[in-house]
């Protein structure tokens, strides 16, 4: 149990340290970086929705084929 707790503390401290260094060394201002991240997140969400809609349509077609009476 102690090892797991130590690992989790190390993970937290490492993440905190890494994010601090990343912020300090970022080549853009915070406003620009947040805008860019917002744009990337938005496009990622759009891509995931498109992929989910496409897959849903495929599965619905397949289900309709399975439910169709056989001749």
| pLDDT (mean) for 49-54 | 95
pLDDT at position 11 = 92
Q: Domain spans of the chain?
A: 2-67
**pLDDT band with cut points at 50, 70 and 90 for residue 64:** very high
Q: CB within 8 A of 28, min separation 6: which ones?
A: 36
In three-state secondary structure terms, 59 is helix
**How long a stretch of residues is the chain?**
71
pLDDT at position 29 = 78
Q: Which two tokens stand for residue 68?
A: 């169709």
pLDDT at position 25 = 83
Contact yes or no for 26/33 (Cβ under 8 A):
yes
pLDDT at position 28 = 76
| pLDDT (mean) for 29-45 | 88
pLDDT at position 30 = 76
């Amino acid at each position: 149990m102690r090892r797991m707790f130590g690992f989790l503390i190390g993970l937290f401290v490492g993440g905190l340290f890494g994010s601090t260094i990343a912020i300090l060394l970022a080549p853009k201002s915070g406003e620009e970086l947040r805008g860019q991240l917002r744009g990337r997140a938005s496009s990622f969400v759009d891509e995931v929705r498109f992929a989910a809609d496409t897959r849903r349509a495929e599965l619905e077609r397949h289900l309709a084929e399975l439910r169709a009476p056989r001749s």
